[in-house]
Structure 1
Amino acid sequence: MITMKQIAERTGVSVSTVSLVLNGRDKGRVKSEIARKVRNTAKTLGYRPNPMARSLRTSKTGMLGFISEEVATTPYAGAIIQGAQDAAAERGYVLLTVSTDGGIRESEQIQALKRYGVDGFLFAKMYDQNVDLPQALRSCPAVVVNAVERANRCPSIAPDEFLIGYDATRHLIESGSRRVAYLGTTQDLPAQEDRMRGYQTALKEAGLPASQALIRLVGFNQEAMDQTNDLMDDQHPDGVFCFNDSRSFYLYQAAAARHLVIGRDLNLVGVDNHQVVAETSAPPLTTVELPHYEMGFWAVRRLLAQINPRRGALPLPDTRAVLPPLDQAGGVRIHCALIRKGSTRLDATSDLVPASR
């Protein structure tokens, strides 16, 4: 195991100088060329900080608590955890993940993480919603993920639901659709309201009808199929924005029954970039990708900025959905990426379309 003493001997400086540099406290104390030499030597020798020693020195454990409500068991939302782990690892942190039921068990899990001495918390939800940060977390560094903290007690990050509806509908319009329908959900979700508002705004800007007759809110199974058939027969849409990828399944069936070709006679755009639905449909479904990985990554970066504000921030990486600035106050909404795959006339080739207004 490489020690600071060995690095000091190799670079010809004191151990205290090496300590300042490797702990990010060299600014204004150590000449930049010396600091650079120390970092390069540490990298060449394969130096790894000792978490136990750092914990004793800084009163920090190098651990972050990730509290989720079903996120850990949701296949595509599991990318939130991956993003959080990647960002934590960059700074030498370990992520402790617990799954809760949102009730008594949640409080027990929070207390367990506190006993481990975690330095901060990520509080994640399975879907975008308004939440209250648990009382037990209000005195701790915390970031809410995939939801909005109702009272703005801490930073939060969630998808920009309005732009999801707006970008999807604009893409349908640009693909030649003039009667654009919306196949939504019967669930009472904030995302439903905002996506529909984006859908209606895009239609209004284009001078196209946004009548209630073109909107269907459906559940699942035969009831959803019946309403989809009713929409197709009564309104004859040439484009449909679906609340999620799963609901597009009913449009594929309805189109086949009417000998309509998806991407020619009927344009479709979904939401989720769900691997099973979006990739196995024929043609593959054009969809707005929910930025689970990006939200997890940004949330850890934001949390670490709270824990140690004096430590320099790493540059944000390039991701499919552009990460918002870390210094943005309050609740942050992330602009999602439209993934072109084949279900609209514009989708001759799979491509990533930078969403913009």
Structure 2
Amino acid sequence: MGSSRRVTLADVAERTGLSKTSVSLILNNRPGSRLSADAVLRVQAAAAELGYRPDPAAQSLRLGKTRTIGFLSDEVTVTRFASAMIRGVLDTAEQREHTVLIAETGRDPQKTAPALDAMLARRADGIIVGLMGAKEIDVPAIASGVRVVLLNASSPTGEPSILPDEESAGRAIARQLLDAGHRRITLIGDSHSAATDPRVSVTVGARFAGLDAALAEVGINFLERVPVEPWEPVGGYEAMQKMLNGPEVPTGIICSNDRLAFGAYQALQEAGWRIPNDMSVVSFDDDEIASYLRPGLTTAQIPYEEMGRHAVDLLLGGGEGRHLVPMPIIIRGSVGAPRGTEGFTS
């Protein structure tokens, strides 16, 4: 058989001596064909030998489905931080025999409608809207019958969504310090807007609630909550510098993300403080930088890949509501028992 054209059902039928209808029933697993086991084996063997592949266009016409998913990205495809989200979506879609159409808006709302129109023109069976930063968004009107799932996002209209379980992660990351004996703990990266405004973040408030709950369980509050905007290394560096020169120096630091922790590391090491001998540090995100720091940074991982997998399963499997994906705690070398140092007691 030449390789210049698609192998058809007629080719398989000719090879096996069966009708096209019988071959179609077998290859499409249609019930009630009443064909013998020998016929089934012959058709499957002939299809494999000839390299037969189903015609997607014909399948979509017959089933009313294109087995295509649209992925509308808001900065997910253009940043390394959340690239695992794309991997999770693509791998799971492939396992479920679906193709993914990807469009990037780059936070430009004017690009959203054209991107959605292009996906719907290709008759996508459903749409996943994925965000780099978890926040509440308004979902554009989409044709009736096309299912939408929000990935790392939520909406006031209640579309099904996938989010990281930040409250549980907050409790768990605080316990890293508390279980090591720390009671003088400071938060670097407090943010009133992120904690209270869902248009800024739908997860940071839960993260802080988890931290506060863990501290309350042992009867303490934060020694200090240091506001920092934005959560970049320079903010962590400056906050840590001021803290080391302040009247009450903590024994443990919780940073709101790994970039703040990177800055805090620099300030501590510049001042001659050893981690974790003199100060313990924990954080959130599990950015690539967390494993490169020395010692490695203990942090709560945002499970982007697993969230992507869950989004595809939710889109194709049905279900409503908000689904929380556990955030693993990645244990490295930045936590130790508190040690007495001049200016504070542990």
TM-score bucket (shorter structure): 0.7 to 0.9
| The one of 221, 227, 230 aligned to 1:217 | 227
Q: Which amino acid aligns with 2:220?
A: P
1:180 equivalent to 2:185? Answer yes
Using the alignment, how far apart are the partners of 1:121 and 1:225 within structure 2?
Answer: 41
**TM-score of the superposed pair, with normalisation by structure 1:** 0.77
| 5+ residue gaps, structure 1 | 307-326, 347-357
Give the conservation status (yes or no) of the 8 Å contact 1:165–1:196: yes
CA deviation digits over 1:169-197, x for unaligned, max 9? 01121223222221125452333321111
- Runs in 1 of length 4+ with deviation above 4 angstroms? 1-11, 28-31, 36-48, 220-224
Once the two structures are TM-superposed, the CA of residue 44 in structure 1 deviates from its matched residue by 7.1
Give the conservation status (yes or no) of the 8 Å contact 1:149–1:331: no
SS at match of 1:126: strand
CA deviation digits over 1:199-255, x for unaligned, max 9? 1101111x24214x4211212465553332223333321111211100002221232
1:15 maps to 23
CA deviation digits over 1:38-66, x for unaligned, max 9? 99969976764332221222122222111
Alpha carbons of structure 1 residues 10 and 169: separation in structure 2 relative to 1, 3 Å:
farther
| 5+ residue gaps, structure 2 | 1-5, 195-200, 338-346
Please show how residues 84-103 of structure 1 align to structure 2 within 5 Å: 84-100=89-105, 101-103=107-109
Alpha carbons of structure 1 residues 37 and 79: separation in structure 2 relative to 1, 3 Å:
farther
Between structure 1 and structure 2, the one with the greater Rg is 2
SS at match of 2:329: strand
Using the alignment, how far apart are the partners of 1:49 and 1:175 within structure 2?
Answer: 59
| The one of 322, 327, 336 aligned to 1:345 | 336
| The one of 259, 270, 281 aligned to 1:257 | 270
CA deviation digits over 1:283-307, x for unaligned, max 9? 111111111111111111221224x
2:153 maps to 147
Alpha carbons of structure 1 residues 40 and 344: separation in structure 2 relative to 1, 3 Å:
farther
Alpha carbons of structure 1 residues 292 and 63: separation in structure 2 relative to 1, 3 Å:
same
Q: Which amino acid aligns with 1:134?
A: P
Provide the alpha-carbon RMSD of the alignment: 3.3
Give the conservation status (yes or no) of the 8 Å contact 1:216–1:231: no
SS at match of 2:263: helix
**How many matched pairs?**
316
Once the two structures are TM-superposed, the CA of residue 266 in structure 1 deviates from its matched residue by 1.6
Using the alignment, how far apart are the partners of 1:120 and 1:55 within structure 2?
Answer: 14
Give the conservation status (yes or no) of the 8 Å contact 1:130–1:147: yes
Percent of aligned pairs with the same residue?
A: 29
**TM-score of the superposed pair, with normalisation by structure 2:** 0.79
Give the conservation status (yes or no) of the 8 Å contact 1:17–1:30: no
Give the conservation status (yes or no) of the 8 Å contact 1:85–1:95: yes
1:59 equivalent to 2:67? Answer no
Using the alignment, how far apart are the partners of 1:50 and 1:237 within structure 2?
Answer: 65
SS at match of 1:122: strand
Using the alignment, how far apart are the partners of 1:167 and 1:29 within structure 2?
Answer: 56
Q: Which amino acid aligns with 1:61?
A: T
